[in-house]
Amino acid sequence: MTTKVTISLHRDVDTNEWFVDKLEAVRGNMRSLNSFFVPVPLRNAFVADFASFLLMRLPKDIGLSVTGFERHALADSALVLMRIRIIAQRAFAGIQSVVIRIAEARGDLLDLFLVTQRMDMLALASGAPAELQDRSTDPDSARPDTSGTDSLPPNATDGEAGDP
């Protein structure tokens, strides 16, 4: 099954700085959306290899443009991006919007992001228990053990725990 990716960026024309607004991945009937409350500078969102790839190919002027690339393989990753299109809108009110469409991605999309922007790394940064930090391929291995005495009885909510 193919994973399709759409990345939304914008450029502050005054500073010429590119910002990441969101990344959406679609596979089958599942959609994953990673967005930022406050847009993040491109170099602070993506790994250096991908950020450099984009910065070399993003438009230099503020007009409409469409460019395409067949493939990009990330260094130090098994991620390969294929049939990449960069669609730039004409700048308006000092902002230029760009949509990057990737027709097929093979590999782990999290490899695009810097560690500081990866949701899966929040468990490590927050000091979560070791069982939540496990990134093994067995999905059941990363689940905490809830069978202990601290768990709620079946069909109970926090307010009902311990109530007769």
**Per-residue pLDDT tens for 60-75?**
999 999 999 999 998 8
Question: Residue 153 domain-assigned?
Answer: no
- Per-residue pLDDT averaged across 73-94, rounded? 92
* 3-12, strands of its sheet edge to edge: 30-41, 17-27, 3-12, 95-106, 80-88, 65-73
Rounded Cα–Cα distance for residues 153 and 109 (Å):
38
Tokens of 152: 């709620």
pLDDT band at 138 (very low <50, low <70, confident <90, very high): very low
Span 2-52, pLDDT tens digits: 899 999 999 999 999 999 999 999 998 999 888 888 889 999 999 999 999
Tell me the three state secondary structure of residue 71: strand
Question: Residue 55 domain-assigned?
Answer: yes
Question: Residue 150 domain-assigned?
Answer: no
Decide if pLDDT at 137 tops 60: no
Count how many domains the chain has: 1
- Per-residue pLDDT averaged across 97-102, rounded? 97
Question: Residue 59 domain-assigned?
Answer: yes
Question: Residue 94 domain-assigned?
Answer: yes
Question: Residue 121 domain-assigned?
Answer: yes
Question: Residue 163 domain-assigned?
Answer: no
Question: Residue 132 domain-assigned?
Answer: no
pLDDT score, position 118:
57
pTM exceeds 0.75 for this model: no
Q: What average pLDDT does the chain have?
A: 79
Residue range(s) defining the domain that contains residue 115: 3-125
Rounded Cα–Cα distance for residues 24 and 5 (Å):
6
